[in-house]
Amino acid sequence: MCSSDLFFEWSMAPGLPRNHPQGLMQANPSCNHDEVTPNCITYRALISGLRTSPAHIAEAEICCRETTIGVGGPFPEGMWEKTINPDAKPADNAKIVVCVEVSNRRDQTYIIRAGLGTDGKAVLGVWQDKAGTDWVVDFLKEQRKTFSSVVVRAGAASPVFALLADMQKAKLPVTEWKGNEIPAAHGQMFDRVRDETIQHLPHGGLETAATSAVERFMPGGGWVVDINKSPTDTAVLYAAVGAVWGLGKVPQPP
């Protein structure tokens, strides 16, 4: 006996941008039809939802498309994946900057290394991705000759700030990253990704954070990654942003 059940799906066609008018109508067929559905959704409400919802939520709830968490993020669509290069490496005489970040729960620490390539592009990669924080200062002391600066996000709200005193006591070359420099660094990172003047080695956690993180817009302009509203751990992405920012704080060889 054959089943005669039929299933219909209302969703935006694959490949269409999320703000495509016809695609939004495909996913929300009752839109603007208040003669059929009282208090129905309006096109204006859909556009507002796209502007205020994280990309992975907008895909599922507004566009009605199957999605993974690695959709969207703060960078131009598709550009983070485009700048992945597993063979990238800094120039032989490049000054190397490292940035240390600790997750909100202090259960994971990330260290990212960055340097300029021969073409002037920033090259970065995850150097360490390990649990806890008790190993960080000793590791950096052992590797001291391999980098020129350690970037640390300063401020009481920063989990890595608790390591700052020990780093200074160990006479590590610390560059404090604080205040307006944090949104400025996010802007620099955005420009490099958009203009393809950056290359980064593949790393699952970094890829997921960069393609799903939620922005928090600052009152005076600019934006930062929203640590609390992002769906995954963004510490590794903060480390990437900080390392690239730190490249501008050390003199580079000609």
pLDDT in tens, 219-238: 888 999 999 988 889 999 99
Q: How far is CA 46 from CA 12, 76, 127, in A?
A: 13, 21, 42
pLDDT of residue 71: 61
Q: Who contacts 26 (Cβ-Cβ below 8 Å, separation ≥6)?
A: 10, 11, 12, 13
Q: Which of 192, 196, 174 is nearest to 184 (CA)?
A: 192
pLDDT of residue 1: 47
Cross-strand partners of 122: 116, 198
Q: Where are the alpha helices (DSSP H) in the chain?
A: 21-27, 43-52, 55-61, 79-82, 136-142, 164-169, 181-195, 204-210, 235-247
Mean pLDDT over each residue of the chain, to the nearest integer? 89
Is the separation of the CB atoms in 181 and 189 below 8 Å? no
State the Cα–Cα distance between residues 80 and 101, nearest whole angstrom.
20
- Which two tokens mark 191? 């420009």
- Which two tokens mark 212? 């799903």
Q: Tell me: pLDDT of 2 over 60.
A: no
Kindly tell me the sign of the dihedral angle through the C-alpha atoms of 159, 165, 170, 173: positive
pTM of the model: 0.77
pLDDT of residue 55: 67
Q: What is the DSSP letter of 12?
A: P
Is the separation of the CB atoms in 160 and 101 below 8 Å? yes
